Structure 1
C-alpha cells in the first residue's frame, strides 16, 4: 500500500532511476560527440543509435525470461553490471565494430532495467495514485537525462573522464534498489503480440508511434553530430540537447491536460503539421545561438509529446483485457522505428549534409500528417455509410439482439422479403466489417460544426513514456 505521499514510498526506485538516466542520457551524446570530433562518417553514428534500439527490442523478450527466472532485484543488478562494463569497453578500444556490439548489449540491459522499475511501480501502486507516481517517475527520468548532458559540459575535451563517471553511475544505481525494504514484486507474465490486429484496430496511434520512434532515434543519435557540425563546442552541444529534453519534460503535463479536452487524433495531426514546418525551417535557415535554442525547444514540445498522446489514444480504443498485449505491441513498434530512423537519417547526412537530419524528420512528420488525414477520412466515410444503410431500414429498440438482421424476423411488422434482402446485402456486410470494434477516432458523436472529431471520451489508463536515449 502506498502512503499519502506516494513518491516517498518509492524513493529507492526513483533514486535508482535518476542515477541510471544520468549515465544513459550522457552516453549516446558522448559517443556522438567523440566520433564527430574524430570526423567519423555519420553513418557510424547512426548505426550506434540503431544498435541501441535494436538491443531494446531484443531485450523486451530476454528481460521477461530473466526476471521470471531470478526475480526483479537480481535481474536489475546483473543488467546494471553488464551495462557498466560495456560503457568502460569504449575506453579500452576504439574499434567501431566492437562499439556496435556493445550498444546492442547496452540496449538489452537497459530494457531489462526499465522493465524491472516500471513493473515494480505498476504492481505496488494503488490505482488512485498511479498517475502521481508515474508522473514523478517521468520527471525523475527527464531530470536524469538533463543531468547527464550537464555533466558532459564540464568536460569540453571529452577524454575518458566522462566514461568513468558514466560507469560509476551505472554501478551506483544498483545500491538503492538492492537495499530497498519494499516487498519484492511478483514475476512478470509474458505479453502476447497482436501486431496486425492492433494495426487494423488503432492505425492512427501505431503510425504516430512508429514515426515518433523514427524521430527519437534520429535526434538522440545524430543531433550532437549536427550541432558539432555547426561549430558548436561541447558546452553548447550539451546545452542544445538539455534545452530540447527540458522542453519535452515541461510539455508533458499541459499536453496531457489538453488531450483530455481536445480529441487526441486532432492533436496528433496538429503536432505532425507543426513539426513538418518547424523542422523544414531548421534544415533550411542558418539558425544559430538563441534562435536555434528556441527552435529546438519548440521541437522538443512537439516531438516528445507524440508518443504519450498516441499511446493514450490507442489505449482509449481497446478493451481492458487487451492492454497488456497493446503495451507490448507499442514498445515493439516504437523500437523498430527507432532502429531504422538513425540509419536512414545518417545516410542522408553523409550523402548531402548535416542539415538533412531535420529534413528527414520533416519528411517523417509530413508522411504522418497525410496518413492521419487519410485514415481519419476513411473511418468517417465508413461510419457514415453504415449509418445511412442502417437508417434506410426501420429502427428498433436498443440491445445486442437488434444488431443482428435475424432479429427483424421476430417482429411481425416487418416484411419477410425485407429481412431476406438485408441478410443478403453483401455491400452492407462488407462495409460493416471494415469498421473495427473500437474506432481509432472520436467520431461516435458528431457535432454540427465538427466534421472530423467529437469531444474526447473519458480518459483511460495511459501508457508511460519511456525516455529515449
Structure 2
C-alpha cells in the first residue's frame, strides 16, 4: 500500500522543520515586541510585511527555480532565511525588521514552491490525495511544534532566535540528501481575475475575509494572550491550542461539507464564530482555562473557513481551470492576510487587546451578509458536484493547487506567478458563490 510518509520523508521533514521555525518566529516576535512596548501596530505591520513577501515571492521564486534549479534555489533561500533571523539578534531597528520580514516571506515562498512542485510531479494521480494530506499534516504539526519550542524556552532573549535559525538551517539537510529525481522547471500562466470574480464571488469574498482573520491571528494572537496576563509559555500554548483545533476540525467538517449545502455551512460557521468570539472581547475577565477553551472553539471555526470556500468554488469551476482557481484563491487570501494584521494592530493599539476578537466577530457578520445561498443559481455547477471536501492548509504556495485530488489532470501551464489577465467573456455575473 502506498505510504506518502515512507515515499517522501525528506520533503515532509523539511516542511515540518521550516514551519516549526516560522511558527516559533511569529509568536516570539509578537511577544517580544509586546514586552518591549513597541505597539500592536508594529506587530501587525511586521506580519503584514511577511505576507506581502509571500505574495510577491511567487514571481521571484519562479525565476530563481528556472535559473538555478530546485535544490540550489531551496538551499539559497534557506540560507537567506537563516541569515535574516540571526540579523534580528544584531539589529534593533523596527524599520529594518519590517524589511527583513518581507525578505523572509519572499524566500519562504520559494521553499514552498520547491517542495510542492516536487511532491506534485512525483506523486501519481491516484496518490495525490494521500500526498496532500501528508503535506498538510507536516505543515500543521510544524506550526504546533514551533509553539512547543517556545514553551520550552520561554525567555524572550536571543535563544528562541537561535532555535528558529536551527530549524531553518536544518531543513536544508533532508532536501540536500534526498536521492529523488529533481522535478522539471516550472511554467507560469496568467490569472483570470475577471472570470473568477464573475463565477465565484462569494468564495473569493470568504477567502479574503479568512485571510484578514488568519493573517492577524498569527501575528496578534500572542499579543492578545500576553495582554490578558499570560506568560510566554501560556501564550504559546494558547496559540498552539487554536492551531490544533483548526487541524482537528478539518476532517469532521469535510464529512459534513459533503452532505450539507456549502453556502449555508459557511454562513453557519460564521454565525457560530461571531458568537464564540464574543466572550473574548475583553468585557469580562476570563480565567486561563476559559481562554484556552474559547480559543479552541474559535480556532475550529476560524481555520475551516478557507477549505469550505475552496470546496464551494471548485463545485462551480470546470476541471481544466481548477489549478488556476486555486492559485487565484491563494492570491486573494494573501492580500487579505497582508491587510488584516495592519488593521487589527492599529485598532488594538487604541482600543485594547479585546479588539482583536471584536474584529473576528465583525468579519464573521460580514460573511453572514456576503454569503447568500439564494444567489447561487447553479448555472455553472459541475456535474460531479458536490466534489469531495479536501482539508486545506492556508500556508502554501500556488503550486499546492496541483496536489489537490480534485484536479484530475494537471495542465502543462501551472499557475504560479504571472501578472493577472482580464477575465474571459464566458463568466456569468449572476453566479454568486
Q: TM-score range by the shorter chain?
A: 0.7 to 0.9
| Deviation of 1:156 (Å) | 2.3
3-state SS of 2:38 partner: coil
What is the CA–CA distance in structure 2 between the aligned matches of 1:463 and 1:97, rounded to whole Å?
37
Give the drift of 1:100: 0.1
Distance 1:461 1:179 in 2: 35
Among candidates 357, 374, 377, match of residue 374 of structure 2:
377
**Cα deviation 1:381-421 (Å, max 9, x = unaligned):** xx7xxxxxxxxxxxxxxxxxxxxxxxxxxxxxxxxxxxxxx
Q: What is the 5 A alignment of 1:312-461? A: 312-373=311-372, 376-380=373-377, 438-439=380-381, 457-459=385-387
Task: Select between 85-94 and 135-144 the one with higher mean Cα deviation.
Answer: 135-144
Give the structure, 1 or 2, with the largest relative contact order (CA under 8 Å, sep 6 or more).
2
Q: Is the 8 A contact 2:250 2:391 kept in 1?
A: no
Tell me whether 1:60 sits opposite 2:58 in the alignment: yes
Aligned-residue offset at 1:260 = 1.5
1:286 Cα shift? 2.2
Q: Is the 8 A contact 1:316 1:460 kept in 2?
A: no
- Larger displacement relative to structure 2 (120-129 or 53-62): 120-129
Deviation at 1:153, TM superposition (A): 1.0
User: Cα deviations across residues 437-466 of structure 1 (Å, max 9, x unaligned)?
Assistant: 625xx9x9xxxxxxxxxxx92416858423
Match of 2:164 in 1: 166
After superposition, residues 19-418 of structure 1 pair within 5 angstroms as 19-283=17-281, 284-373=283-372, 376-380=373-377
The match for 2:423 is none
In the alignment, is the contact (CA less than 8 A) between 1:272 and 1:368 conserved in 2? yes
Cα pair 2:306 2:394 within 8 Å, conserved? no
Q: Number of matched residues?
A: 395
Q: Closer, same or farther in 2 for the Cα pair 1:198/1:263, shift >3 Å?
A: same
Q: Distance in 2 between matches of 1:460 and 1:120?
A: 24
Q: Which moved more, 1:179-188 or 1:319-328?
A: 319-328
SS at match of 2:280: helix
**In structure 1, how many angstroms separate the alpha carbons of the residues matched to 2:228 and 2:388?**
44
- Cα gap change, 1:314 to 1:378, in 2 (>3 Å): closer
* Secondary structure in 2 matching 1:91: coil
Of stretches 172-181 and 66-75 in structure 1, the one that deviates more from structure 2 is 66-75
Single out whichever of 227-236 and 254-263 deviates more from structure 2.
254-263
2-side partners of 1:341 and 1:22: how far apart? 23
Q: 1:465 aligns with which of 376, 393, 397?
A: 393
Structure 1 residues 462 and 62: CA distance shift in structure 2, 3 A: farther
Cα drift, residue 467 of structure 1: 3.2
Q: Summarize deviations over 1:288-307 as a string: whole Å, max 9, x none.
A: 21111110001111111111
Say which SS state the counterpart of residue 178 (structure 2) adopts.
coil
Aligned mates of 2:3, 2:169 — CA distance in 1: 28
TM-score (norm 1): 0.81
Instruction: Give unmatched runs, 5+ long, in structure 1.
Output: 384-436, 445-455
Segment of structure 1 superposing worse, 63-72 or 27-36? 63-72
Distance 1:266 1:79 in 2: 42
Q: Report the TM-score, using the length of structure 2 for normalisation.
A: 0.88
Q: Is the 8 A contact 1:315 1:463 kept in 2?
A: no
- Distance across 1 between alignment mates of 2:338 and 2:391: 21
Question: How far apart are 1:266 and its partner, in Å?
Answer: 1.9
Deviation, structure 1 residue 44: 0.3
Greater shift in the superposed pair: 293-302 or 277-286: 277-286
Greater CA drift, 37-46 or 274-283: 274-283
Q: Any gaps of 5 or more consecutive residues in structure 2?
A: 397-433
